[in-house]
Structure 1
Amino acid sequence: MSAVVLTAPPREPVAKPVRRPPRKPKPAPGSRRLSPLKVLGTVVVWAFTAFNLFVLYWLLSSSFKTPVEIFTQPFQLPRQWFVAGDPFRNYVYAWNQAGLGSAFVNTVLLVGAAAIVTVVVSAPAAYALTRLGVRGASGMTGFVAIGMGVPFQTVIIPLFVNMAKIGLANNLFGLFLIYVALSLPFTVFLLTGFFRSLPDEMEEAAAIDGASPLRTFVSIMLPLARGGLITALILNLIGLWNETLLAIVFLQENADFTLSRALFTFYGAASYQSEYGGLIAGVAIVVLPMLVLYVVLARRIITGLTLGAGK
């Protein structure tokens, strides 16, 4: 009699549970609808941007035009100098007649040195006010911030009198000292925000290892605050490059002129000779370097300012 082998019925595959995608976060209240205030703000920002782009276009196009084109065709592309085969005539005229060559060198050296020295002096001051537990540091920080609210136009006359007494009223070194002194309040106030936002753990670890405050500042805190230092340096470069009033007051010799000072002198001669194309070209020579610098480093500047607002 043959044996009957019983086999179990095949198992049906067990379906794996389907993983649901993570739930999307709910939008913030009011973000789905465009509020009137948001629409108004967007319109104002884009209108301001469009206006600045239009001014930049007018500046660049006019710098290649003849005086007749500037007044009769202010918004059209330049033509006459290109047809004549001399498109950069206005720039060559401004560069030679205004002495912008030597002025450019003076400005680069003066502004670069003043910006670097300002950051070098401000960094340890800001570190001491925020990280060393100096008694009355908050009051001193507020006292430094007061310097930002004093218009430098109000101190020009006594400053000029005192600088003249020590023989520094008509040279680049005297203007260098003034640039550094007037830039310190803003730079110290800016860097205090960066040093205050840095973590305390690495500084405490350095103190446990026996590092002095000076070594901790140089080896640890300065690399951590590199973004803030670069931001402060760039902002000082832009501000000092565009400075005009102090250069007009404290510089009288053509050999010491900065770009803005040389352009101010060139304005009278160009207006008298109706060389408005050359005058606008001179303005472009002064404006464009800092404009290009800001466009290239805009992201770094914004990131640095945002980091400084951490605490």
Structure 2
Amino acid sequence: MRRLIGDVLLPRATAIALWAWVAFNLVLVVWVGMQSLKDSGEVWLNPFSLPADPRWDNYASAWQAAEFSAAALNSTVLTLLGSLLIVALAAPAAYVLARSDRRVAGPLTGYFAMGLSIPLQTLVIPVVVIKLSLYTFMEDWVTGWWDNRITLLVFQVVLSLPFAVFVLTGYMRSLPHEIEEAAEIDGAGPLRSFVRIVLPVARPGVMTVLVLNIIGLWNETLLVLLIAPLPEERTLPAALLNLYSSMQYSSDWGGLFAGIVILVYPMIVLYLWLGRRIVEGMTAGIGK
């Protein structure tokens, strides 16, 4: 009886629970989209009905009220540049750790894994101190000016590297050594072999890390609030918080839901588009 429960009923119960959770989240996403097309009265009186008269102007109101133009530009630039820098730094580091025969390679990989367990909330005070010190140093001694968005980019890259290196190290360990041996026979050096042979073969793992970092950096909020508090430095999540503080007094709940859609829907579309590749890369990377 116990074997029957363990082999049959438990996997089915797990699958049912997972599908129920997926269905709940999909319904929630659709519901938020429906509310973004209603006026405030309809949001409260008929929260589960279709919009009687779709209010597409809610998106324009949210965009203007939250100053999303500058925030969207900041989010796009920081997300794309940060994700590319993370991959550019993590890929060669992971390759060296995966192929190195030195005893230090194993502990170093473990240290990167340990970095995943450190919550950002515990680093709030060091982050603020480093931000202020870096701003003062650069403005007074080096360039005469400094932009907090550069500091934000540096912190985003540094704090995202442990995850990227850990996943790519596992993925590159799964690659056969024969491809590099064949390249070496043809006269390719380590650098050329890595760029021309290993990176194209490791493309699924690299794409997984790239997409997950795009999603993570796009939704980053706490670091933005700590490092880039000025209106012209805000990204979309910080601008959305500012929109919430203003919309709750004007009671423009449809505009607030429209702001949520502007922030969340692009990442949902990206994940749905590349979801299978992300799962494959994560499975290969963590499983090694």
Aligned position for 1:286: 263
In structure 2, the residue matched to 1:243 is 220
Deviations 1:266-309 (A, max 9, x none): 11111111111111110110001101101111122122223335
Aligned equivalent of 1:50, options 15, 19, 23: 23
Q: What aligned pairs does 1:155-304 form with structure 2 within 5 A after superposition?
A: 155-167=123-135, 171-304=148-281
Q: Indicate conservation of the 8 Å contact 1:119/1:229, yes or no.
A: yes
Residue 38 of structure 1 deviates from its aligned partner by 2.8
1:170–1:253 contact (8 Å) kept in structure 2:
no
In structure 1, the partner of 2:118 is: 150
Change in 2 beyond 3 A, CA 1:309/1:257: closer
Q: Secondary structure at the match of 2:116?
A: helix
Residue aligning to 1:307: 284
User: Partner residue of 2:44?
Assistant: 71
Question: 1:188 and 1:118 mapped to 2: Cα distance?
Answer: 9
Report how far residue 310 of structure 1 moved. Answer: 5.8
Aligned to 1:117: 85
* Unpaired runs of at least 5, structure 1: 1-28
* Aligned counterparts of 1:62 and 1:257: Cα–Cα separation in 2: 25
Aligned AA (1:288): Y
The answer as to 2:59 corresponding to 1:91 is yes
Greater Cα offset, 260-269 or 178-187: 260-269
Partner of 1:140: 108
Distance 1:214 1:133 in 2: 17
The one-letter code sitting in structure 1 at the alignment partner of 2:202 is A
Stretches of structure 2 lacking an aligned partner (at least 5 in a row): 139-145
Instruction: Rate the CA distance shift 1:162–1:52 in 2: closer, same or farther, 3 A.
Output: same
Q: Which moved more, 1:182-191 or 1:131-140?
A: 131-140
Distance 2:123 2:79 in 1: 21
TM-score, length basis structure 1: 0.84
Q: Deviations over 1:117-154 (max 9, x none)?
A: 00000001001111132341001110111111111111
Kept after mapping to 2: 8 A contact 1:104/1:258: yes
1:150 match: secondary structure: coil
Distance 1:76 1:251 in 2: 39
Amino acid at match of 1:246: L
Q: Whose helix proportion is higher, 1 or 2?
A: 2
Write out the 4+ residue segments of structure 1 that deviate beyond 6 Å after TM superposition. none
Query: Greater shift after overlay, 39-48 or 250-259?
Result: 39-48
Query: Which residue number in structure 2 is paired with residue 126 of structure 1?
Result: 94
| % identical aligned pairs | 44
2:131–2:227 contact (8 Å) kept in structure 1:
no
* Distance of 2:47 and 2:20 partners within structure 1: 21
**TM-score (norm. length: structure 2):** 0.91
Do the aligned partners of 2:208 and 2:281 also contact (CA within 8 Å) in 1? yes
Q: Look up the SS of the partner of 1:246 in the other structure.
A: helix
CA distance in 1, matches of 2:262, 2:186: 53
The separation in 2 between residues aligned to 1:293 and 1:54, in whole angstroms, is: 18
Name which structure has the greater RCO, CA cutoff 8 Å, separation 6+. 2
